[in-house]
Structure 1
């Protein structure tokens, strides 16, 4: 017979946390969440494939800690947290496969720890289903092993809101208090502005709601946020002219933040586009976007169920934090990338899972098999669609990265070898693949002037890349030109292997 332990199970109403109610819970309940985390890790390794090369943004982040290539220009919106997370592998190895495996294992562990927080707040089956819902989204599987910050903001958000609720229920729960601070620090370490949007409702609650006021909890939020963001703020003053200047620069790079409804842009990106800028084209087929419309309906059902069960806070708080986390990317930006909404999906997964469990268990016993069958079929179709989109996204991304690798090999053949400089069309990722520095004289990644670039080209192997249909930059008109696929490679005067006009 299985042993039981008496542990607190949270009971909450709309006024805030109430006295914890003790109910028996079986030992070994973490097995379900562990199984979800293991399956998620395996899905990354099998479906995303460790050998897939690094993407554009990944090249920027990895170059900051890698000995393979000089550090790329680091623009204002970026934060160095993900670079440091990748450093234990990237600092000594250039193997993308090893880096992917490391991040897949780490992301699986992160998911398990974040879900573990919610045990006691919701039944085990709800928590495990929430993890499965989040872990089977194509965007979650794709970005779990990527050197990108958004997945980790999502994990921090999921863990942080759960720890916040636990700390409110049991004021002696020091682990929950530390969890709030650590989660806020993780989010701010990865993307400080995203962290602010996620924890904004928590800050408002502990400051403005009398029943929720706890100085230690407020301190945990503020100290965690400050600890994670301090390096970003220091860098703002050291390299960008101050915090205000960096925020303004980040806004400009993102097209100018302000009232701009991007819901349709996010909808278009669900076909598997990793970046939709400019976001044009038709809306994806209904089967690809049905889940996006089902989420708010299920979340609303979960809230109704929670209100009736007098545990409103545990459902309402993740919904509100999900809403604030998604607000800048749905209403304040002029383009879309599915990864931006990962914190939204992670927080929404808990209420949605609760609603699905309610649909299966609430009907009369005679109807439960029907409800279970319908939900199971719906989830199976949903997973099938997600993995079909994932396969397409992985295929297109792999093809683009292979093109960069081939261009880098061609640069080496032409004599552009380290130490070297690459500028122009897609110069940043191609330079990383070639082991070169990247430089731009204009645009968001502008890091040099034409005069400085020409001086560099006179003593260092340099290549200017342009599309085959475009002419070379003005300063490179006299440089030898070579046709390679859709590109023309214009080789600078210091490159001894520059051939004749292609």
Structure 2
């Protein structure tokens, strides 16, 4: 059994599930982006604003569990299982392309990457873009060697899923896969790539016309949300943030312990060594990294998950050929990834739980449905936890003016002092430091 690639891959996927369950707190509250996606399909939860760059692919992944419960523990376990299954399916075509050692290394190195572990249980699209990209490229290479219905199905599923999750990413994946199919004269594969990418993009395109005016308007709005798509030193920002934080905008953090970032430079270097044997995953990985390294003016390590997944394949092929130093390299890699994971977890988890705790105090103080949160300090996570609608205060408008005509409970959330227009409302301290309030809620008295 252990000499056969498919069971070996299954063991790696189970190990990935076990590591997530062991390392990621299952009670971790959903953060801003997760709530935006989850709220779209959670019954009884107001929809958070769905901005132009977002696509609904990951909302469909979380939809089954939130029909039953919005408990974070259940959501985390659901996403962990999906992530482990996604890893298995993504690398399944590669069982026909790689030797067992290289296969286990590629899937295992990706599964132990701190970013893949941290985002495995989260409702975020980037990990599944990575799985779709690996599935697509592997299926394309199988089609080249021995076309079959299953290989074409994997190719279509890979491209369609990437398009449904992040339509912009499918363009960069297609830049490599499309010309490769044409170069090999695999016309059916080229057609499959085009059709799958178009079909997967249909929901995003339709929504562009129904909610944003047109496709061009949505594309422009998406660029504005990203801070403008233009030449930027994203490479430097992603390098500094390679071991955390999870989000770096503006990315003006100092470069600390650069020796722990060697893995980030070593990965493409190891992949390049096997460029002649595995050119397509190498080029696809570099292409999918390009917009985030050169066109985005901030960093989020999750953006590079598709590139990491693809580059792991030629890198693993290289490592499997140099066995004596392999154990040392692997041990160093695992130590760095575990250290980075603990650092990000130590930053993010307490902040999320702190937020959940003070929102629970709001609920205990009487902020229950039907309710509206009014102000500028409210984020989608507060909305999700309370189940309240949100009314943003416009410039020059007071909270009292914004609250006029709103039914049910109306409350604000602010730091230290009440917002203008809510000074006479009922005051409740949500958090304090050294005996002084740091977060308060003001609740409108019953009329």
TM bucket normalised to smaller: over 0.9
Greater Rg over alpha carbons, structure: 1
Partner of 2:434: none
Say yes or no: does 1:165 pair with 2:116.
no
Q: 1:145 aligns with which of 118, 121, 145?
A: 121
Say yes or no: does 1:96 pair with 2:68.
no
1:285-364 counterparts in 2 under 5 A? Answer: 285-303=257-275, 306=276, 312=277, 315-360=278-323
1:32-111 counterparts in 2 under 5 A? Answer: 32-111=8-87
1:400-427 Cα deviation digits (max 9, x unpaired): 1112212212222332211212242243
Partner of 2:402: 454
**Residues 456, 347 of structure 1: alpha-carbon distance in 2 compared, 3 angstrom cutoff:** farther
1:28-75 Cα deviation digits (max 9, x unpaired): 332221111110110001101222111111111111111252111111
Q: 2:446 aligns with which of 496, 499, 502?
A: 496
> Contact 2:400/2:422 (CA < 8 Å) preserved in 1?
no
Partner of 2:367: 416
Give SS of 1:119's match: helix
> Contact 1:275/1:337 (CA < 8 Å) preserved in 2?
yes
Partner of 1:276: 248
After TM superposition, give the deviation of residue 167 of structure 1 in Å.
0.8
Partner of 1:398: 349
**Residues 166, 286 of structure 1: alpha-carbon distance in 2 compared, 3 angstrom cutoff:** same
Say yes or no: does 1:465 pair with 2:401.
no
Say yes or no: does 1:436 pair with 2:415.
no
Q: Which moved more, 1:408-417 or 1:345-354?
A: 408-417
TM-score, normalised to structure 2, is 0.92
After TM superposition, give the deviation of residue 128 of structure 1 in Å.
0.9
After TM superposition, give the deviation of residue 140 of structure 1 in Å.
0.3
**Residues 343, 44 of structure 1: alpha-carbon distance in 2 compared, 3 angstrom cutoff:** same
**Residues 226, 452 of structure 1: alpha-carbon distance in 2 compared, 3 angstrom cutoff:** farther
TM-score, normalised to structure 1, is 0.82
Give SS of 1:464's match: strand
1:315-374 Cα deviation digits (max 9, x unpaired): 1111111111011111101111110000000000000001111222xxxxxxxxxxx2x3
- The whole-number CA distance in structure 2 between the counterparts of 1:348 and 1:442 is 47
Task: List runs of 5+ in structure 1 lacking aligned partners.
Answer: 3-25, 307-311, 361-371, 444-448, 498-502
> Contact 2:371/2:407 (CA < 8 Å) preserved in 1?
no
> Contact 2:12/2:107 (CA < 8 Å) preserved in 1?
yes
**Residues 453, 489 of structure 1: alpha-carbon distance in 2 compared, 3 angstrom cutoff:** farther
Partner of 1:182: 157
> Contact 1:463/1:489 (CA < 8 Å) preserved in 2?
no
Give SS of 1:145's match: coil
1:171-216 Cα deviation digits (max 9, x unpaired): 3x12111111111011111111112212221123334x3xx23331
> Contact 1:270/1:284 (CA < 8 Å) preserved in 2?
no
Partner of 1:500: none
- The whole-number CA distance in structure 2 between the counterparts of 1:413 and 1:496 is 16
After TM superposition, give the deviation of residue 477 of structure 1 in Å.
5.6
Q: Which moved more, 1:109-118 or 1:137-146?
A: 109-118
Give SS of 2:247's match: coil
> Contact 1:151/1:343 (CA < 8 Å) preserved in 2?
yes
Say yes or no: does 1:226 pair with 2:198.
yes
**Residues 487, 359 of structure 1: alpha-carbon distance in 2 compared, 3 angstrom cutoff:** same
Q: 2:180 aligns with which of 191, 202, 205?
A: 205
Partner of 1:367: none
**Residues 234, 135 of structure 1: alpha-carbon distance in 2 compared, 3 angstrom cutoff:** same
